[in-house]
A and B are shown apart, each in its own frame.
Chain A
Amino acid sequence: MLKYIIRRAIQAIPSLLGVTLIGFFLVHIVPGGPAQAMLGPRATPARIAQVNQEFGLNKPLPLQYIQWLGQLLHGNLGTSYFYNETVLHLIAVNMPRTLAIVGLGVLFAHVFSILLGSLQAYYHDTKFDYIMTSLTYFFYSMPIFWLGIMIIMLFSITLNWFPSGGLSNPLTPNPGLGSWIAHTTLPVLTIMLTTVAGWGRYMRTAMSENLIQDYIRTARAKGIKESAVVLKHALRNSVLPLITLLGFALPQLFSGALLVEVIFNYPGMGLLFWDAANQRDYPVILGIVVITGFLTILGNLLADLLYGMVDPRIQYN
């Protein structure tokens, strides 16, 4: 087991390097380059040359990459051109906020999609199933940014239950947990609804495939209670693949979170990236691309290991 973990971790290293390579070259081959971005369109060539000299941007790209990689290994992602903060600090502040809404959204989505998919599969081709299938189609097809707008219109403007955006009320200097819950509820709800729509459909298929398997018939024939047959036998086998699905869904979840953060003006990593992209803040752009790439690769690795742990059929050889 330990050997397997180590081998998988070593296998992830080239992917991690690849992410840094792609991120770095993407940022450095853009026309104009970082110096132009820092100084604006009216910068004189002399000034650009000076900045290039100062930041080591006139060295050959491969050399720059290796130096940057060395800095990265020391946990140094550079300094933002616009915020006068290190990129690492910016990410350390904003990332937990994004992880909070994505994590909570995914957690609730898991619970609801498992519940919904199982019920639909068990009561398949009933009115309940048809209504729920239509609803999941509806939410699955709905653009997340329009869903966000609808949710603001309903819960903030019409009902006035929750604030429409931001992370705290500027008038209260020391916001507590209540304010945090109020500000995160709608973003979490948005992420949850789109995720449930996708995973609920998946769960329904997985569960209905498992419910017609021979081992279910055997279990029933043995006289095991129906609830135990469904919950212990069919459900367990259907839930397992969700772990892998979560690993694969991470990049998509981050993309969705970006849109949600822009709509709700929620100061997470997506909003930070959006601002950075608009301002050409290259160190921040690069830092976020690398960190999200790393997170996804680690997420996939974790999903793999977790899957092996919960499914005794998987052998480590």
Chain B
Amino acid sequence: MISPELEPRDTLRGNQPAQEKRRASREWRAFWKSPLARFGVAGLIFLVLFTFVGPLLYHVSAYQPNLLYTLNPPSAKFPLGTDSLGRDYLSRMMIGGQLSLEVGFAAAFMTTVIGVIYGLTAGLIGGALDSLMMRLVDIFIAIPSLFLLLFVDSVFRPNAVLLIIIIAVLSWFGVARLVRSEVLSLKRRDYVEAARALGASNWRIMIQHLLPNVMGVVIVNATFQVADAILTVAALSFLGLGLPPPTPNWGEMLSSSMSYMFQNAWWLIYPPGLAILIVELSVNFIGDALRQAFDPRLRKSA
């Protein structure tokens, strides 16, 4: 089989749409064949059903305290037990997951968009602007991100939307660096030269020629951004600086359960931790499967 790099291309028209489509579908097939991908997708579907469809079927309040049943272990009445205020833990797990997942996915999406725009611009324009833009990235990468997040969070005490913005604004640097290095190698390709010779503007080159070709790398990276963002939200909530009460979320539930560690309230500690672990595992599985499918160097030779 000819490797995709060697397939003939119409240099004048750049990537022909039909060819692009065929290549893409082959990659998605390779992705779906991988057991990692199937485990990952199944894990995510399970969690989405649990958090978003679960509350429609399980009608117990996540907020109603009941001081007669505080810190009850799992029983027929409370399948996952109750917390220190006697609130039903299963119900809180369901509601708590919604916010963790929504914020994680939204923040990862926004991070990726900012990073792609920044990286494309720096890489395509090049020169002094590029050096300056990348220097800025280097500096932000040098500061531990959790420290910045913690500080900004402690100042603003954000709601969910603001938290998404803060996470995105403080985490796009890696994406920008990745996209820029891709662009640097892509922009020397013949089809970009050809497009430029035909008088295409920077904007057109960026949208028409570069963006479709960095998408593979970007999609793979975006998956890992989801894992990172969900972990960040959980870590911030764990540190008491995530999302404001009363809406529960997994990180906050884990941190409040720590106070009952010595009373061996295991039913409070395992579920949120396991839930975060399942999200992370699923997303990492999908990311690795995508990388194997989209990175021609990693694809097993046919």
Contact = CB atoms under 8 A, between A and B. Distances in A.
Contacts of B2: none
A27 B143 CA distance: 14
B239 interface: yes
B277 A289 contact: no
A8 B140 CA distance: 19
Interface string A30-65: 110000000000000000000000000000000000
A289 B284 CA distance: 30
Contact of B147 (A138, A150, A157, A273): A273
Nearest to B278: A141
Contacts of A26: 148, 151-152
B155 A150 contact: no
Contacts of B154: 277-278, 280
B75 to A, nearest CB: 22
Interface stretch (A14-22, A74-82, A174-182): A14-22
Q: What secondary structure prevails in chain A residues at the interface with B?
A: helix
A251 B141 contact: yes
A262 B239 contact: yes
A98 to B, nearest CB: 11
Interface string B60-82: 00000000000000000000000
A157 B264 contact: yes
Given A285-B151, A292-B144, A292-B147, A153 B269 contact: yes
Interface size class of A (residues with CB under 8 A): 35 or more
A160 B86 CA distance: 29
Nearest to A280: B154
A22 B138 CA distance: 12
B136 A31 contact: no
Nearest to A17: B139
Contact of B254 (A31, A146, A262): A146
Given A143-B273, A143-B277, A153 B143 contact: no
Contacts of A273: 147, 150
Interface in A158-192: none
Contact of B273 (A150, A152, A263): A150
Nearest to A282: B151
Interface residues of B, number: 42
Contacts of A152: 261
Contacts of B273: 143, 146, 149-150
Nearest to A209: B297
Contacts of B155: 30-31, 280
A205 to B, nearest CB: 9
A273 B145 CA distance: 13
A113 interface: no
**Most chain-B CB neighbours within 10 Å: which of A138, A146, A150, A285?**
A146
Interface in A117-165: 137-138, 140-143, 145-146, 149-150, 152-153, 157
B136 A142 contact: no
Interface stretch (B25-33, B105-113, B200-208, B230-238): B230-238
A132 B146 CA distance: 29
Nearest to B154: A277
B147 A143 contact: no
Interface string A218-238: 000000000000000000000
A255 B136 contact: no
B292 to A, nearest CB: 11
A67 interface: no
A4 B240 CA distance: 46
Given A141-B284, A142-B280, A153-B269, A296 B258 contact: no
Contacts of A108: none
A297 interface: yes
A106 interface: no
Contacts of B120: none
B276 interface: yes
A259 B241 CA distance: 13
Interface of A: 14-15, 18-19, 22-23, 26-27, 30-31, 137-138, 140-143, 145-146, 149-150, 152-153, 157, 251-252, 254-255, 258-259, 262-263, 273-274, 277-278, 280, 285, 288-289, 292-293, 296-297, 300
Nearest 7 pairs between A and B by C-beta? A255-B146, A141-B280, A18-B139, A146-B273, A254-B144, A251-B144, A296-B142
Given A31-B155, A143-B276, A251-B144, 8 more contacts: A19-B139, A153-B261, A153-B269, A157-B264, A277-B154, A278-B240, A288-B147, A292-B147
8 contacts: A26-B152, A143-B231, A143-B277, A145-B254, A150-B273, A258-B146, A288-B147, A300-B142
